[in-house]
């Protein structure tokens, strides 16, 4: 499918900076039900985003690209966004409004390299063409964004006609097949890494650290990432799903179970998700694992570290904080301890301020954060890239939603690199932690086989 003229222009290759200014206009139109995957079958820069509660978006082309690096990357993205989106003239309902989609690398200082070609430390795009379906609205909305009113109106007409010809169902395609796998970390090396972390925990400098592994998967044929995300939707309907095209041949995708934060007006929702056991092969075995999860002192300690850290990080922003009862989130192959957390902001803040404050939670980093980051950098032999970083969207009002980039991989042609980690605390057993990591590889790996 060839790109329209608007998809290859309009700052598509040049990041907008805080010093530049561009006046955007958008127009929206309600459509009959269409397949979201139908506009995702091209090499044009694109995004896909879906939430457990039913918001689904697919973007094609680039109206504006924002990028930043270094410790000030959150502020720089927010500043660029205010310049670009501050004067946005949106002609359509709020549900169809333009949004900036993208994310942040786990570490702020890094140089993109294989397999993360094209992924800056922070990068967002406002798509040229956006399809949106929301649980708050029965319609599917087509939105076109650009800097020329007549051009945007013409593109809306053209895309309305093109979308009418698309199928209403999205085929999930077939798996590409796995030829071989390559590990960055051997079992012996993993034992050494966990033992090293336990030594720091024993001497009191560290309370928890999440160590990760990378698994390179060589495929029998090129992967259709959009179709893989569709298969993940069918198997993990209660997870987020995302796809971000890095623009240089690499695509980051996944089905994370964990919300980092969402903000709507002054309402904030987040959650602690830490502590894991497998699913059982029978209902009785499943319940036994769940009981173990709720009773295990080590897993509860690991979970409470995350709850306490999130509450502490939010205290300076909110007027009230509500911590719900601990429960269990059951996925197809794993169970997690879950504690929902909600709050009301004292004054309005941009969602990126909350993202910066919360990232990384102890569920993907550790306690204390600085020592955990240092331990991760010294221990892991690969670049996490955007793995375990914030992935999501924000709008002109500063509202938005971000997931944690877990259960994920980065794809390029016939290779996918998967990432998974495990929380190390006092009394962690290297063998048990190894098995947990392998379990977390499975959601994406199973859809590639």
Residues recognised as catalytic: 208, 258
**What six digits make up the tokens of 284?**
């009785």
CA atoms of 419 and 70, how far apart (whole Å): 23
368 and 320 Cβ atoms separated by less than 8 Å: no
CA atoms of 23 and 82, how far apart (whole Å): 11
**What six digits make up the tokens of 309?**
């850290």
CA atoms of 346 and 319, how far apart (whole Å): 5
CA angle, 191 then 196 then 199, to 5°: 125
**What six digits make up the tokens of 110?**
């890094």
Distance between start and end Cα atoms, the chain? 27
Total residue count of the chain as it appears in this document:
449
* Per-position b or e across 124-160, b if 16+ CB within 10 A of its CB: bbbbbbbbbbbeeeebbbbbbbbbeeebbebbbeebe
CA atoms of 419 and 405, how far apart (whole Å): 10
CA atoms of 36 and 221, how far apart (whole Å): 24
CA atoms of 262 and 383, how far apart (whole Å): 27
32: exposed, middle or buried (C-beta count within 10 Å: 0-12, 13-18, 19+)?
Answer: exposed
**What six digits make up the tokens of 420?**
């998974």
HSE value, Cβ hemisphere, 13 Å, CA-based, for 376: 29
β-partners of residue 408 are 254, 419
């Amino acid at each position: 499918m060839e790109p329209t003229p608007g998809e290859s222009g309009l700052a598509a290759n040049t990041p907008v900076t805080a010093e530049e200014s561009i006046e955007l206009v958008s127009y929206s139109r309600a459509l009959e039900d269409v397949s979201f995957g139908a506009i995702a079958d091209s090499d044009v820069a694109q995004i896909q985003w879906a939430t457990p509660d039913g918001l689904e978006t697919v973007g094609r082309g680039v109206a504006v690209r924002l990028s930043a690096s270094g410790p000030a990357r959150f502020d720089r993205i927010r500043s660029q966004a205010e310049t670009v989106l501050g004067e946005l003239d949106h002609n359509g309902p709020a549900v169809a409004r333009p949004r900036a989609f993208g994310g942040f690398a786990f570490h702020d200082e890094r140089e993109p390299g294989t397999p993360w070609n094209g992924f800056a430390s922070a990068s967002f795009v406002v798509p040229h063409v956006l399809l949106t379906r929301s649980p708050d609205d029965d319609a599917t909305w087509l939105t076109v964004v650009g800097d020329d009113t007549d051009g945007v109106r013409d593109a809306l007409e053209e895309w309305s006609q093109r979308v009418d010809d698309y199928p209403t169902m999205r085929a999930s395609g077939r798996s590409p097949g796995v030829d071989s796998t390559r590990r960055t970390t051997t079992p012996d090396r993993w034992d050494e890494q966990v033992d090293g972390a336990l030594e720091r925990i024993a001497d009191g400098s560290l309370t928890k650290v999440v160590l990760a592994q990378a698994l390179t998967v060589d495929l029998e044929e090129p992967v259709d990432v959009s179709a893989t995300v569709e298969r993940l939707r069918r198997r993990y309907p209660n997870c987020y799903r995302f796809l971000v095209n890095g623009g240089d041949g690499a695509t980051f995708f996944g089905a994370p179970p964990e919300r980092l934060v969402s903000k709507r007006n002054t309402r904030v929702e987040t959650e602690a998700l830490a502590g894991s056991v497998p699913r059982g092969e029978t209902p009785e075995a499943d319940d036994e694992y769940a009981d173990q999860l709720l009773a295990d002192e080590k897993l509860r300690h690991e979970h409470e570290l995350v709850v306490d850290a999130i509450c502490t990080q939010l205290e300076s922003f909110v007027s009230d904080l509500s911590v719900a009862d601990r429960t269990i989130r059951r996925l197809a192959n794993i169970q997690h301890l879950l504690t929902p957390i909600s709050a009301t902001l004292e004054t309005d803040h941009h969602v990126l301020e909350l993202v910066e404050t919360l990232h990384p939670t102890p569920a993907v980093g550790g306690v204390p954060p600085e020592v955990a980051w240092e331990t991760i950098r010294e221990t892991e032999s690969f670049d996490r890239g955007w793995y375990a970083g914030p992935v999501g969207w924000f709008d002109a009002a500063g509202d938005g939603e971000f997931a944690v980039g877990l259960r994920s991989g980065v794809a390029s042609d016939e290779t996918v690199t998967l990432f998974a980690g495990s929380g190390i605390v006092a009394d962690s057993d290297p063998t048990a932690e190894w098995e947990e990591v392998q379990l977390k590889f499975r959601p994406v790996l199973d859809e590639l086989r």
